Amino acid sequence: MIDNLLSSWEELTEQQQASLMVYQAIQKSYKGDYWSSKELLLQVQKYKVTDELLISIYQYQTANLIALRQYTEAFDLMAKYLEKISSIHDIETKAGAYVRLSNLALNLDANEELRKYSSQALLFAKGTNAKLYCFSLILSAYADYSEFKYSDAKEGFNQSKNFCDNNELPLFGFVAEKGLAEIAIKTDDFENANRLLNNALAGYKKFSYKTEITSVYALLAKTNFRLSQYSQAEEFANKVMDLSDDPSHIVYKAIAAKVLSQRYFELKQYQLAYDYLESHQYYTNLIHDDTKAKANAYQMAKFKHQEQAREIALLNQERQLVEAQKELDQADRTNDVMIMTMLVGSVIFLSLFLLYSHRQKLRYRKLALTDRLTGVYNRGAGQDFAENEFVQVCMRKAHFSVVVLDLDLFKNINDSFGHATGDWTLKHVVSVIKPLIRDSDILTRMGGEEFALFLPYSCEQTALKIAERCKDAIEAIDTKYSGHLFNITASFGVSSNNREDLSLDPVLKRADIALYASKHSGRNRVTLYTPELELQCKSDETQRSLIFN
C-alpha cells in the first residue's frame, strides 16, 4: 500500500504526504532501521502538520532515539510531548498520548513515570478506544512487573490478553502472552514459560515483528536450557548470536552467549565455553553502561525540568518588579531609574546569594546523610528515613521488611590485598545491589562491611527474592578488575514486621538474628527469621559465655 501511494505522490495533499512519510518511518522502525526512520521523521516536521500528527511524530521519534541509545535527546523530546498533551481536550487523543508516553517510560526503565503515565492512560482510554485500553492494560501490568509485584502483573497480563483477544487485537495478545512468560521465568515455571513463548513467537512471525522475535528467541534459549532441551536451546541462542551488534540486540545477545557458554561447558568443550563466557561479560558490560546512560539522562532531564521551573519563577518575580516600577515611573522618572537599578541589583545579588547558599546546604546535607565511600545512606540517615517510612507503613497496616547483609570473610580481603581492594569490593557490592531494588527502598551502610535494605510495602517473600538476587549478584562480581582474583560472598538475614512492632528496632534485631544464623550455617546464604532461630542464638551465646568464664 505504501509503495502504491508513493507512485501517486504528486496527487497527494501536503497533509497526506506528511502522513505517508510517517508510515514509512514506522515501517523502517519495525524492520530495525532506526536511523533512517529518525531522519525521515525530521523531514516530516518541516511540513505544516496537525497537533495530533505532531504528537505521533514525537512518539515514534522518541522510540527511535531510545533504540539508538540517544537518551538525553529522548527525554528532551518527551518533555515536548508532555507540553503538547496539556493543550489537548479530546479524551481519546489524550489517552493515546499517555499510552505512548507509558511505552517510552517502559523502554527507558523510568519505573516511576511508567506507573504514573499508565494510570493516566487507563483512566482516559477506558470506554473510548479498545486498542488503547488493551495497550494500557499491558503497560499497567508491566508497571507491576517492574515493582516485583508478580501476582498483580500476572493478573494484569491475563486480563489484557483476554480483552485484546476478545476485541480482535491479536498482536497485543501476543505481547501479553510474552509478559506472562517473563513472569513464569522469574518464578522458575519454565514449562509454562516455554509454552507461552512458543505461542508468542508464532504470533510475532505472522506480523514479522523483528525486534520481538529476537527477544523471544533469547528467552526460548534460556527456558529450553533450564528444561534440559539443549539442542533447541543451542539453536535459538545461535539465531540470536548471528545478529549484528546493533544496540537493540545487546540484551538478547548477552542471554544467548550465557546459554551457549553453559551448553559447551556441559559438552566439556571448555575453549568454546570460555569464549562465549567472555562474550556474555562483554555484552553485560555494555548493558551496564547503557543502564548508567539511561539513569544519567533521566537525572539530567529531571534537573533540567527543575531548573526551568526555577527560572520561570524568577522571571515572574522580575516581571512583577518591572510592573511596580512602571507605576513609580509616572511620579518621578529620575528617581525611579535609580530605584530600579538598586532593586534589580539587589534581586540579582540576593538570587546569586540564595543560589550559592542553597547549593552549599545541599552539599553539606549530602555529606551528612551519605557514606563517602559507597554513596549510599549512612547508618544514622538510613535508619531515620526507614523509621519514618515504617510509621507510614504501620498506619496503613502494610508490610515492611528488612534485609541485613554482611560480606563474608571481608577481613581476609583487607589483610591479603590491602584496604584499597577492600574499598573497591564495598563500592562494587553497592553497584550491583542498586539496580535490583526500587527507588523507594532504602540501602544503608550500617558500618564496615555490613549493609541493610529497608523495604517498605514488601512482604517477607518479596524480601527473600530480593535478598537471593542480591546474593547471586554479589557472588557474580568479577574481581579481576581490582587487580586481584578472589571470591566475594555475603550472608543475609531477612525479617518482616508484625502487629506487636512499635518501631523498626525489633524488626532489625530479628534480621540480625537471621544473619547470625546464615553465618553460623556456613555463610553465603539467605535466612528468614523464625522464633526458633532466636532460641538457637540465645543457646549459642550462653554456651560461648560458659566457655569464656
Segment 297-324, tens digit of pLDDT: 666 655 454 444 455 455 556 667 667 6
What does the alpha-carbon distance between residue 227 and residue 260 come to, in Å, rounded to a whole number? 15
- The mean pLDDT value for 138-154 works out to 90
Q: What is the layout of strands, in order, in the sheet containing 400-407? A: 442-447, 450-456, 400-407, 490-496, 526-528
Question: Rg of the chain's alpha carbons, rounded to an integer?
Answer: 28
What is the structure's pLDDT at 122?
84
DSSP three-state, residue 461:
helix
Q: Which residues share a beta bridge with 444? A: 377, 452
Tell me: pLDDT of 342 over 80: no
Please give the Cα distance from 101 to 104 (Å, whole number): 5
Take residue 371 and report the three cell numbers written for it. Answer: 557514606
* 390/502 Cα distance (integer angstroms): 9
Distance of CA 202 to the CA centre of its chain: 29
Contact 223, 194 (CB under 8 A): yes
Closest by CA to 483, choosing from 420, 427, 428, is 420
Helices (H), 376-485: 379-395, 410-417, 419-433, 460-475
Q: Around 331, how many Cα atoms within 13 Å sit in the side-chain half-sphere? A: 7
Mean pLDDT of 34-60: 83
Residue 549 has pLDDT above 50, yes or no: no
Q: How far apart are CA 401 and CA 80, in angstroms?
A: 40
By C-alpha distance, which of 443, 510, 447 is closest to 470? 443
Q: Pairing mode, if any, of strands 526-528 and 450-456?
A: unpaired
Cβ–Cβ under 8 Å, residues 39 and 64: no
- 256, 237 Cβ separation under 8 angstroms: yes
> How many other CB atoms are found less than 10 A from the CB of residue 431?
15
List the single range of 92-106, 297-311, 392-406 with lowest mean pLDDT.
297-311
What does DSSP say about strands 450-456 and 442-447: parallel, antiparallel, or unpaired? antiparallel
What is the rounded distance in angstroms from the CA atom of residue 398 to the CA atom of residue 361?
Answer: 35
Residue type, 382: G
Selection from 245-254, 293-302, 323-332 with the highest mean pLDDT: 245-254
- Tell me which residue of 163, 164, 195, 158 sits closest to 179, measured CA to CA: 158
**Contact by Cβ (8 Å): 399, 497:** yes
Cell of 195: 509454552
Higher pLDDT pick, 155 / 333:
155
Rounded to the nearest integer, the mean pLDDT of the chain is 85
Q: State the pLDDT confidence band at 86, using cuts at 50, 70 and 90.
A: low
Give the contacts of 36 (CB within 8 A, at least 6 positions apart).
Answer: 28
Mean pLDDT over 183-193 rounds to 91
Cα 201 to Cα 215: distance, rounded to the nearest angstrom: 9
Percentages helix, strand, coil for the chain (3-state, rounded to 5) are: 75, 5, 20
The mean-pLDDT minimum among 323-337, 411-425, 457-471, 513-527 falls in 323-337
Question: What is the mean predicted confidence (pLDDT) over 119-146?
Answer: 86
The answer to whether 263 and 233 have CB atoms below 8 angstroms apart is: yes
528-548 burial, b if ≥16 CB within 10 A, otherwise e? Answer: bbeeebbeebeeeeeeeeeee
Sorting pLDDT into bands at 50, 70 and 90, what band is 547? Answer: very low
CA distance 490 to 477: 12
Give the closest residue to 96 by CA, choosing from 126, 121, 118, 119: 121
Q: What is the pLDDT of residue 336?
A: 66
Q: How far apart are CA 200 and CA 213, in angstroms?
A: 9
Q: Are 455 and 463 in contact (CB under 8 A)?
A: yes
**Which SS3 state, helix, strand or coil, does residue 50 take?**
coil
pLDDT of residue 238 exceeding 50, the answer is yes
